[in-house]
A and B are shown apart, each in its own frame.
Chain A
Amino acid sequence: MRDRLPVIVLIARKLLSVILTLLLASFLVFAVSEFSPGNVARKTLGPYAPQESVDLLYQKLGLKDPLVERYGRWLGILLGLRADPLQDPALKLNFVDPRGARYFGNFGYSSLYKAPVNDVIWSRLGATAMLAGIAFAIIVPLSLTLGILAGMREGGLLDRTISVFGIVATSVPEFASGVFLVALFVVLLGWLPGTSPLTTGGGWPVWSQLVLPVSVLVLYDSGYLVRMVRGAMVDVMNRPFIRTAMLKGLSFPQVVLRHGLRNAMIAPFTVILLQINFLISGVVVTELVFAYPGFGRMILDASLFGDISLIEAATLIALCVAVTTQLLGDAGYALLNPQIRLR
């Protein structure tokens, strides 16, 4: 048997792989942006600006430089090793960051929003985190409960009812369920507001603006999770040790709670954690349907515009969320199943 590595080495190894992933991903985003059509300078000045002015801005923004040079510059600015050249007043771009031109974590200047990325991104991430947090807090207990109820007696009435719900909920895309819910609760009944600007100017409290987007996410996502949990539960309930537990005289609820649940949770656990990634960066459609001022809509706008600083920042943040949930997943696995240990 191999000697166990010290924990510190394990952590260092993990960190190194995280950093490598981030570097690789951020470089890939730069490389891919090369292929996407669109000139930021043209988009900034609009279709009717004279070509000479567009060329001038293109040059000022440093877009003429080779890919590797631009990537190196971006990385240097992010790490605080060099000042952001776009803030040079001589360029007359009016780019000013109150934090200064050189600091660690400087994501640069958003060409779409004409503001430091750090001024733009965090409030939108906060808005999406709120939406995602509420949705997640409902999705997890709901789908666990339904999934377990369905999976403990395979083929029963409860199982069939819940499974049908799961299939229907997952197969209706978010834009369709969004429009359907709006038609019902906004247009027909008038109970809820149709969009979520997160301000109270329209006469609707903020909580009421969250009901529909959260519902859309819960419907879409829990349908899928319910089926995952149910599958795992069915699988476990057919295993020999469950039969043993039954035969030794435990009541059915005891069997489900003590022996079924813990074993059935291992596979869905990863899937549940993956939902966090989806809820942070995959909610574009829901945010669009409800005009929700969040992270997903911002990424969409940034991508269409070709705002590389903002796309990079969003990518890194989404990656950090993914890496964190992955680490949580690994740790959770170890807790649920003693056979799995960090190697």
Chain B
Amino acid sequence: MANDDHIRTLTADLEAKRVSRREFVRFAALVGMAAPAAYALAGTITGEPFAPPAAAEALPKGGTWRIGTRIKDIKSPHTFSWGEQSNVARQVVEYLTMTGDDNVTRPYLAESWDVSPDLKTWTFHIRKGVKWTKGDELTADHVIWNLKRCLDPAVGSSMIGLVKAYLLNEVTGPDGKPTTELWAPNAIEKLDDHTVRLNCKLPQVAVPEHLFHYPMSILHPDDKGVFGIGAQGTGPFELTEFDLGKRAVLKRRTGYWGGDAAIDGMEQIDIGDDPSASIAALASKQIDGLASAYPSQYDALKALTHLQYYDVKTAETGVMRMKTDTAPFNDARVRKAMRLAVDREALLQVALRGLGSVGADSHCSPVLPDYGTVAIPTRDVAAAKKLLAEAGHPDGIEADLVVPNDIDWFQPMAEASQQMWAEAGIKINLKPIPGASYWDVWTKVPFGITIWYHRPLCTMLLGLAYRTGVPWNESGWSNKEFDALLTQAEGTLDLAKRKEILAKLETIMEEDGPLVQPVFRNVFSFQDKRVKGYTAHPSNYFFGWMIGLDKA
């Protein structure tokens, strides 16, 4: 059952119009109320009909959905680092929770959850009657095995970075190197065969979101963490063929707890990195759709009349982040000047052809439910010059910007920004490097552009990248007031209060923060018009059970 106190607070907020219906549904679901019930309640309170986004439409049956993507190594789901990998596995193995394209996190293998008023004790009720491929039932033991395996430093899962603050302690290993361990013996606790409790060190409101992070899939312990053909799963499909770099074939299985999928199967085909190859494959109907498309492909794909365009606003962005311990960026005035010198609206047009939204250098997207409203800074070259002069650079500054070459809109964004900065006396030299190499230096270069994929909450993003000393704090930025406010936000359920705190956090980022972050990208994709049920997911995830295919 959902936690009644939290629902009461939220209901009051909704009645007083302090939160929108979407925010209400999102947070009601977050604290364990099933999403359909939350939608119903939102409708009752505001008196307006409200249709759930994934209205169960009768999907046509049969057919194979062929989708163009990259086929990467899938052997170890708990250490996945790319969405493409999880898109193969997620058809077979599932997650405890699921965050939809509306940023609402819903029950999945966990059918509900409760949270204590201090947001420290999370109790997950595992769905009963969920059968693995070979017929045994999903139990709390299976779930706990997966949670513990992901938090074992020897496995190397990125889940550690996500939950470290509230579930792990940093300790020194037997070899004298720093490592982590569960903060308490009962941090992950079995209550009964279908109930698992997380006892957290600190309050954390985003636990259900974290459990949908793509490495956190629930595998059968017998498979020992290895995924492949014949691997067990609770999901609607089985992996029948896999050829790395070429394709993955998935077939529907019967007896899926959520009802059998409409399509017979799906084929994921590796179309490489050449943007024209995916256009050609779609033009000749070799594939029905793309996992995701790029701005540079937009015009060509729009011209193909048999395709339907899907998009969704996201928090996906490229942050031009400055290392705050390196001159000249160690001066907050210089960082502010960098921000003042760019024209966000122009960059949105140049880099993303307008397919996105403008940002205010805080990494917090207005699309996220806990976003606090702040003004978008306007370009002010004179003010930028004045700040530089105050910082002791009356003749401007010069620096290198490292641009990874695997994201097609980074280069135009960098070039346009370069010209805008030049007008303020800031000379920036662009240093393109291979995308794969950037990850070796992403926390080290003084000035670089880093891709950040969508996360469903502002607090998640800020906690991952801007809290003092966290592993992905690539800029090395540290602001005590920010840290304290962030911790406060993470422990605040009242949404209106939380949004107020977020607005303060975003303002600190604008004044003192390490970013020039002018735009957010819309994630978009194209599918053949015969593909039904598809929606663009902000994290580029797709789910075979949502899809139906009209006859070709």
Contact = CB atoms under 8 A, between A and B. Distances in A.
A18 interface: no
B281 A194 contact: yes
**Which of A39, A94, A195 has its CB near the most chain B CB atoms (within 10 A)?**
A195
B179 interface: yes
B63 to A, nearest CB: 12
B286 A113 contact: no
Interface stretch (A41-49, A159-167, A271-279): A41-49
Contacts of A202: 66, 269, 281, 284-287
Contacts of A43: 436, 439
A42 B440 contact: yes
Interface in B535-552: 552
B326 interface: no
B382 interface: no
A206 B358 CA distance: 46
Nearest to B464: A48
Contacts of B471: 50-51
Nearest to B267: A201
B160 interface: yes
Q: Chain B binding site: helix, strand, loop or mixed by DSSP? A: loop
A291 B272 contact: yes
A50 B184 CA distance: 21
A52 B177 contact: yes
A57 interface: yes
B433 interface: yes
Interface stretch (A23-31, A185-193, A250-258): A185-193
A288 B161 contact: no
Contacts of A193: 280-281, 284, 286
B286 A197 contact: yes
A338 interface: no
Contacts of A192: 284
B511 interface: no
A213 to B, nearest CB: 11
Nearest to B436: A304
Interface residues of A, number: 53
Contacts of A291: 269-272, 274, 277-278, 281
B276 interface: yes
Contacts of A178: 276
A168 B439 CA distance: 41
A195 B81 contact: no
A101 interface: no
A230 interface: no
Interface stretch (B91-99, B133-141, B149-157, B203-211): B149-157
Contacts of A323: none
B73 interface: yes
Interface stretch (A216-224, A293-301, A327-335): A293-301
B173 to A, nearest CB: 8
A92 to B, nearest CB: 7
B147 interface: no
A203 interface: yes
A186 B273 contact: no
B520 interface: no
B244 A120 contact: yes
A71 interface: no
Contacts of B245: 113, 293, 297-298, 301
A49 B154 CA distance: 11
Contacts of A104: none
B441 to A, nearest CB: 8
Contact of B156 (A45, A179, A197): A45
Contacts of A199: 247, 269
Given A37-B440, A306-B436, 11 more contacts: A37-B434, A37-B441, A50-B160, A182-B276, A187-B283, A193-B281, A194-B284, A195-B280, A201-B267, A202-B66, A291-B278
Interface of A: 37-39, 42-43, 45-57, 92, 94, 112-115, 120, 175, 178-179, 182, 186-187, 190, 192-195, 197, 199, 201-204, 288-291, 293, 297-298, 301, 304-306
6 contacts: A45-B158, A47-B81, A113-B245, A199-B269, A288-B272, A298-B245
Q: Which 4 A-B pairs have the closest CB atoms?
A: A46-B81, A194-B280, A53-B156, A202-B286
